[in-house]
Amino acid sequence: MSKRGKANMDVSLDTVYNPFHGPTNLPGPPNESEEQRTRREQESQDAQSISREIDEHLLETKKILERRRRAIKMLLLGQAESGKSTLLKNFQLVFTPIQFQKERGVWKRIVQLNLINSIKIILDALQSEWSPDNEASTSLRKEHRLLHLRLSPLLVYETSFNDILSINPEARDICVRAGSGWKSTLSGKLPRSSDDGLGGSDLLIKSDPTQVLEASADDILSLWADPAVQDVLRSREIRLQDSSGFSFLDDVSRVTMKDYVPTESDIVRARIRTIGVEEHNFVAESGPSLGTEKGSEFFIADVGGSRSSRSSWIPYFDDVDAILFLAPLAFNLSLEEDPRVNRLEDSLQLWRMICENKLLANCALILFLNKKDILVKTLASGVSVKRHVTSYNDPNDAPHVTKYFKDRFKSYHRKLSLRPRPFISYETSAIDTRGTQSVVLAVHDSIIRRNFARSHLI
């Protein structure tokens, strides 16, 4: 093409009217009025502005997709109360410690709520003992009624917390919906309206139990240490000390102090139930292990563990690097939603489903035999595994019991996986912060190594 022809083409391309990218001062049609010209130029400017916004949005979407492609993607699976949220907190503690520290104030409220929940369970048990329908004799006396009376005002704060956060006020522990921004709500960053017209911050002030807890500390200690109260709890098979989030009764003197600040262990132990699938995206603040640099990203999906929510898991199986499967060693417990189903047998059924799923054929499966500390306590109390698992014939101690269930998971992994993959398992107590952090680093390194190997980099 001649230089003149090219020049003509350049001119024609530059002067062609384009409502999205063209100049706004081009000549208008003949006989165009001033009003029409102004409207035409404004429409052209609006079109260009919309076009720029679309381009910026597409560019940002492309960046997000690229970051997600390069990020480590994990899925937390397991039945309700298996320890998924606790493991997630340990990941955050290892890789985003600065952000973790900033949330201490939020977790103080949850610790306080857990303690109040424990008190409520005890008071409800005592109330049932005094019920006219209770024919059994009771060792409770007048002083227990007085304790009940003095501690009852604490329950008002539980109601207030539920009004602010919970989607199910009748649940034993507080339930929040995934993606509801409950942390921001508790920190006062997201005000919420109420029927009485108060904003979220006012509600939070009215719901602060710190002073009442401090004033009630001696009564709480007396209630928890009372032999008659312990007898009532045992007779009703209520074991608060074995329940996640309810262990703060052993730390009453510390957590009821006015200037109490939660420790890392407190935050890990604090219990709040999330309903639905919650996606967490966080950026590593440091690089403590192989392949992790400051700025490395993680996408972790924490899916609901209840039976009714398991159908929502499937969309998250695509393009995941690893599934972290938590199976609590609760051989003597049943599912809260279906008392006929043994919790460990339910975990085994879930594991089988995961192993044989075609979408997960190339995915690393990492098993956490969790809550081993509770297993040790259960066996020490004399509970027989054989009574709950008829196929078990080994000694009734933690090493043999753990090996038995580990072998069962390993057998399904070997038989049902569509292609060979290594069996990776850890025995954990998720509230053992230091031990679990070591496991978190090991898990992260194994995923990085596996990704490198699949990319033929090592």
61 is in an annotated binding site: no
- Sign of the Cα torsion 64, 102, 287, 439 reads negative
214 is in an annotated binding site: no
CB neighbour list of residue 223: distance below 8 Å, 6 or more residues apart: 119, 122, 147, 151, 229
Q: What is the DSSP letter of 323?
A: E
Both tokens of 280, joined, read: 């967490």
Question: Within 13 Å of residue 404, how many CA atoms lie on the same side as its CB?
Answer: 19
User: Which of 299, 300, 75, 85 is CA-nearest to residue 176?
Assistant: 85
If residue 72 lies in a helix (H) or strand (E), which one and from where to where? strand 72-77
* CA–CA distance, 25 with 200 (Å, rounded to integer): 51
CB atoms within 10 A of CB 289: 16
| 8 A C-beta contact, residue 348 and residue 430 | no
84 is in an annotated binding site: yes
430 is in an annotated binding site: yes
370 is in an annotated binding site: yes
| 8 A C-beta contact, residue 72 and residue 296 | yes
81 is in an annotated binding site: yes
| 8 A C-beta contact, residue 301 and residue 205 | no
* CA–CA distance, 209 with 206 (Å, rounded to integer): 8
Give me the DSSP letters along 208-267: --HHHHHHHHHHHHHHHH-HHHHHHHHHTT--GGGSTT-GGGGGHHHHTSTT----HHHH
Length of the chain: 458
Both tokens of 19, joined, read: 């409502």
243 is in an annotated binding site: yes
* CA–CA distance, 120 with 230 (Å, rounded to integer): 15
371 is in an annotated binding site: yes
Q: How far is CA 42 from CA 25, 30, 53, 337, in A?
A: 11, 18, 16, 61
Question: Which residues define the annotated binding site?
Answer: 81-86, 242-243, 274, 370-373, 430
Binding site for Mg(2+), residues? 85, 274
Q: Which residues are documented as binding site for GTP?
A: 81-86, 242-243, 370-373, 430
